[in-house]
A = this chain, B = another copy of it.
Amino acid sequence: MSTIEAVDVDVGESVSLHQRILSDISERILSGAWAPGHRIPFEHELTAEYKCSRMTVNKALSQLAKAGLIERRRRSGSFVRRPQSQAAVLEIHDIRIEVEALGLPYRYERVARHKRRSSAEDRALLELDSNGPVLALECRHFAGKRPFAHEQRLINLAAVAEAADEEFHAIAPGPWLIARVPWSAAEHRIRAVAADRHIAAALDIEPGAPCLVVERRTWSAEHPVTHVRFTYAAESHALVARFTPSQG
């Protein structure tokens, strides 16, 4: 989405100087005019070029440095960085949103719900220390008549006690949690697997068919909150991630 913004032409009076310096320089870098390793003008030179104070130039360059486009070295100057590792932003939307974006009616179904002391397996998935209580959920998400995704979820009841009183018949656990728990970190693991019998039945596909699995572990202020595994039939889903060098 921001791919568009990145090439916005300065129609240009109302833009701040800060922004102008930023986009000027990043354009010269991204167009290749200033190749990796090239030393960009010193702050005092840019000060002259843009007729502004060093503070303004400094702010812009610091931002480019934070964005990873340039590297700054004291006494030596600022240099265009060589791209390091491809980093992309993966937006993981609520499944309802994804389904509705396809123009299909969304339906949610709770298949099972168990409250129990955490087993060794639960603790491994949640990265939990104690054997406190967890809530295990199994759900299906439909796009039109077809099952779209299968959800297996564990909720750490020590972190989210209210979940024990929720049946999750009407609302899916994802949006329920988002509305209640401020998350501070999450880890996603994405892989391909063959459908086992259980998954195949739930998604109405052949056993052994390829599936995309997205597992997410979520923490809130150092406490594990939830572990969820979404399984999508191969045809139904692709994840899209975009990289755009950040412009501030």
User: Interface on A for B, CB 8 Å cutoff?
Assistant: 3, 6-7, 29-32, 35-36, 59, 66, 82-83, 85-94, 97, 178-179, 181-194, 208-213, 216, 219-222, 232, 234, 237-245, 248
Contact = CB atoms under 8 A, between A and B. Distances in A.
Given A66-B248, A88-B89, 13 more contacts: A3-B219, A30-B184, A30-B220, A31-B220, A32-B220, A82-B178, A87-B92, A88-B91, A88-B186, A185-B242, A191-B234, A194-B234, A209-B210
A239 B29 contact: no
Copies of the polypeptide in the assembly = 2
A88 B90 contact: yes
Contacts of A59: 59
Contacts of A245: 184-185
Given A192-B212, A193-B234, A209-B194, A186 B86 contact: yes
Contact of A241 (B90, B193, B211): B90
B239 A82 contact: no
A89 B234 CA distance: 23
A185 B238 contact: no
B89 A89 contact: yes
28 contacts: A3-B185, A3-B187, A36-B182, A59-B59, A66-B248, A83-B178, A83-B182, A85-B92, A86-B91, A86-B92, A86-B216, A87-B92, A88-B186, A184-B244, A185-B243, A185-B245, A187-B241, A188-B239, A189-B239, A190-B238, A190-B241, A191-B212, A191-B234, A192-B192, A192-B193, A193-B234, A194-B209, A194-B234
